[in-house]
Amino acid sequence: MPTRSVVVGSAVGLHARPAAIISEKAAELGSEVLIGIPGGDPVDASSALLIMTLGAGKDDTVEVSGDDEAAVDAIAALVEQDLDA
């Protein structure tokens, strides 16, 4: 399973707006993608609510994983951006 460690780029962390943008994209991909804090249980990236439960803040490292490497790369790229700008 492809996994990427990425640093959260949004100033507010993975809160409401960034989580919604990430979950919408994950739902469009048609492949399961998970996001988690290293050492913790990953959550479904297509659920904004579950993403917010991670409590990941700006500059925190999260792991993005899934069966499809292109989907993992797409979600990882979003996590690295400041989606609240």
Which pTM does this prediction carry? 0.94
What is the span of the domain harbouring residue 55? 3-80
28 within a domain of the structure (yes/no): yes
Count how many domains the chain has.
Answer: 1
85 within a domain of the structure (yes/no): no
1: nearest Cα among 63, 81, 79: 63
The answer to whether 75 touches 33, Cβ cutoff 8 Å, is yes
Is residue 85's pLDDT more than 80?
Answer: no
22 within a domain of the structure (yes/no): yes
Give pLDDT tens digits for 13-69. Answer: 999 999 999 999 999 998 999 999 999 999 999 999 999 999 999 999 999 999 999
| Distance separating the N- and C-terminal Cα atoms of the chain | 32
58 within a domain of the structure (yes/no): yes
Task: CATH number of the domain at 61, please.
Answer: 3.30.1340.10
17 within a domain of the structure (yes/no): yes
72 within a domain of the structure (yes/no): yes
Residue where the block lists tokens 């069966």: 67
